Every structure is written in structure tokens, then in C-alpha cells.
Amino acid sequence: MVTYPHFLLLSLYLLSPVSANDDPTSDSLLEWLVPERSVLIHLPTPDLPFLINSETPSLSPSALLFNLTLAPDNLTLLLNGSPILPRAHPHIPTPIRAYQTVEHTNVTSATPLDLDYYLDSPDATSATSIYNTHYNPRIRLDILRARTPLSSFPLPSPSQRLIWVWLEDLSPHPPGTLYSAIPLRIKLVQANTRWLNTGGSGGTTTYRSLESLGGCYGWSWLCGDVDAYPYYKYVYQELFDGYGKRGSMRHFVTSVWGALVGVLGKGAAGVFLVVGGGVMFAPAGYGVWLGVMGVVGRYRRRVKEVDEWVADEEVEGLLRYDTYLEDEGEIEEEVLRRKEVEKQVLRKPSLPILTAR
């Protein structure tokens, strides 16, 4: 396996013939250490001069040295010894460091620089589908800023190059295979100029300054750049720590848990969270219970009022109906009485009519 110190030693003689002109081709910036397994990349940095020491810039143009190497099992791609496919932690971006070299020479810096970067890589946590028997991932890496303990150097130049990596699986794989379990080989590497934004807006498609990125708020669990894994493409290391992205809800929860485990131990921290959570949320739970019971009580009172109103209406309707029946009976009796009177009048003999003689 080619290690990071190993490739730095190799760079002393490999880099001397590289980039013999002011506009080197992509291939001239590469040196294959092991075919399909390890490659050395000499990446020019127009905005970053060579640092004589950790803080003092010189007038010499510089480049950053990168080594892309597959792990012995061909399952993990390492960049300067740090895993970038698959990433070591889904919620914590990989820290990347690189040494400088004076461009067109074999002089290297004494200490590495911390790098902030843009990384576009595929999801390595899911599995292949029944329609997919090959895995050909592609990675795009752009260096956004270089940092020393006391200074930072943004790299916004449109002439800055970004690194493209194409990988290929060693053999077909059955459906349902985890991407992280598929052995790979490095098929192609290029160091091409950044893509310019279309529409006259200026800038490039991958470079964004720290100030231009959106804020991170506590109501977001991850504060990700994208909704799916890998969640973070723009990695400024000061935005992250060992608990994830600063300001996110996940960072708050995991940092509190980490502090408790560090002080009490895992078992005691779990008990503390259960008891403390019960004490903390008991008033809120009681308030919710009172609210629910109030709503239920109001509902029951309303149902009772409706039932009483319906019963009153039914009783009133029955009384009206009874009154109607009584009135109807009296009318019928009156009609029958009158008919009886008329019959009696008709049965009486009429008086004789007197006539004069």
C-alpha cells in the first residue's frame, strides 16, 4: 500500500518534470504510482503562493500535492490517507490536509495545510437495484480554501483546477449488493479548470465562499446542503466538529450526550437522561393532559346539551300532537252534536196552516 509519506518521497523526483509550461494539460499534472490503484496529483493554486513557513508567503507559485489510493481491499478510496468514498462518518465530513510544493520544482513545504473543499460523491450507503449490475461512481473535488493555524487563503480563481475521479467495479455484482461492499479500480483521473457559471452571473459552479453559504438553525436536524446522503458538499472545517455541523439539532443532541458520557459514563448518562427527561417534560406532559381533558370535557358537555335539546324538542312535539288530537276530538263531537240537533228538528211534526173560510 502506498502511504502518504511514501508518495511525498516519490514526489521529490516525480514532480520535477511536471508542468513544464504555464498551461499544463491534465495528464501532465498526474503521475501514476500503481496503475488503477494509486495516483499522485500536482494541483496548481493560482491564489496561493508558496509559504516559506507556516505564515510567510513567497513570490513563487505553488501547487498542492494529492495522493489518491485505493485501500488494500479495493473498497475505500483514500485522499491523502483520509477516506472520501465511502466517507468514514455520514454526518461528519472527512478532514483533508495537503503539502505544498513550489510549482515546477521538487521543493515541498514542511507542514501540511488544512483544506476546505467542495466534494460531490455518490451515495455509498444504499444497495444496487435489480436493474444495476455495475457500479461506476464519479467524484468531483474542488479546493475552496487553504488554512494555517493563523491565516486562511481563499481560492476563488476561475483558473483554479478541480479534480475528477472515475471509478469502476472490478466485476458485476448481484442485485441488492451494498455499494460500500463493491471492490473498485481507479479508471480515470483528470484535473480540469473549474466550470464557469452560465447566464453571465460570473463565478464558477463549484466555488462558494464561507460567507455565501446559508446559516444553520436549530430546527434543522442536519443543516445539509442536500436532502440525501452525503448531506454535505461544501465543507468548511470550522462549521463542523466531532458532533457534526455546528448549530444543527443533531449537533446539540450528540454534544450533550457526549458531555454526559464523558462525565458520568454511558450507563449513568442514560439513567440521568431518562430521569432528567421525565422531570423536565412532566409539566409539559401534564399540561398536554389537562388540555386534552378540557377538550374532552367540552365535547361531552356539548353532546349533553344537544341530547337535552333533542329531548325537549321531542317532548314539545308530542304535546303539540296531543293538543291537536284533543282539538280534533272536540270538533268531531261538535259536528256530531249539531247533526243530532238537526235530525231532531226534522223529526218534529210541522204545525197546520190555518186558512180563512
349 versus 58: the higher-pLDDT residue is: 58
Eight-class DSSP state of 192: E
Are 106 and 176 contained in the same domain?
yes
Which residues neighbour 96 within 8 Å (Cβ) at sequence distance 6 or greater?
A: 79, 80, 82, 84, 114, 115, 117
Q: Is residue 251 assigned to a domain?
A: no
Residue 319 sits in the same domain as residue 228: no
Give the model's pLDDT for residue 19.
36
Side-chain half-sphere of 230: how many Cα atoms within 13 Å? Answer: 24
Q: Answer whether residue 68 is part of any domain.
A: yes
What integer is the mean pLDDT of 47-58?
A: 78
**How many CB atoms are located within 10 Å of the residue 62 CB?**
24
| 219 shares a domain with 109 | yes
Domain count, the chain: 2
* Amino acid identity for residue 334 in this structure: E
Task: With a cut of 60, say whether residue 113 has pLDDT above it.
Answer: yes
- Are 145 and 203 members of one domain? yes
- The whole-angstrom separation of Cα 232 and Cα 244 is 10
Q: Between 257 and 187, name the one with better pLDDT.
A: 187
CB neighbour class for 50 (10 Å; exposed up to 12, middle 13-18, buried from 19): buried
Please tell me the predicted confidence (pLDDT) of residue 69.
97
Last residue of a domain, one of 184, 213, 243: 243
349 within some domain: no
250 found inside a domain: no
Last residue of a domain, one of 211, 243, 275: 243
Q: Which residue has the higher pLDDT, 23 or 156?
A: 156
Q: Give the rounded distance of the alpha carbon of 20 from its chain centre.
A: 45
Residues 128 and 67 occupy one common structural domain:
yes
Residue range(s) defining the domain that contains residue 225:
4-243
Residue 12 has pLDDT above 70, yes or no: no
352 in any annotated domain: no
Long-range contacts of 234-239 (CB under 8 A, 24+ apart): 234/118, 234/144, 234/208, 235/93, 235/94, 235/116, 235/117, 235/118, 235/119, 236/116, 236/144, 236/145, 236/210, 237/93, 237/95, 237/114, 237/116, 237/147, 238/210, 239/210, 239/213
Based on the fold, state whether residues 171 and 72 are members of the same structural domain.
yes
User: Residues 274, 127: one domain?
Assistant: no
**The residue to which cell 507542514 is assigned:** 111
Q: How far apart are CA 232 and CA 234, in angstroms?
A: 6
Q: Do 269 and 239 share a domain, yes or no?
A: no
Backbone angles phi, psi at 319, to 5 degrees: -65, -45
Tens digit of each residue's pLDDT (9 = 90 or more) over 279-290:
666 677 778 877
Long-range contacts at 126-131 (CB < 8 A, ≥ 24 apart)? 126/178, 126/179, 127/176, 127/177, 127/178, 127/179, 128/173, 128/175, 128/176, 128/177, 128/179, 128/182, 129/175, 130/175, 130/176, 131/175
Whether residue 260 lies inside any domain: the answer is no
**Cβ(19)–Cβ(104) below 8 Å:** yes
Co-location of 192 and 270 in the same domain? no
Does 312 reside within a domain? Answer: yes
Is 249 among the domain residues?
A: no
In which band, very low, low, confident or very high, does the pLDDT at 41 lie, cut at 50, 70 and 90?
A: very high
On whether the pTM is more than 0.75, the answer is: no
Mark whether 69 and 126 lie in a shared domain.
Answer: yes
Question: How sure is the predictor about 111, in pLDDT bands with cuts at 50, 70 and 90?
Answer: confident
Per the prediction, the chain carries an average pLDDT of 81
Give the least confident one: 78-82, 84-88, 266-270: 266-270
Lowest-pLDDT range, 2-6, 140-144, 188-192? Answer: 2-6
Residue 152 CB contacts under 8 Å (≥ 6 apart), including other chains: 145, 146
- Of 264 and 23, the structure prediction assigns the larger pLDDT to 264
DSSP 51: E
Name the domain boundary from 212, 243, 274: 243
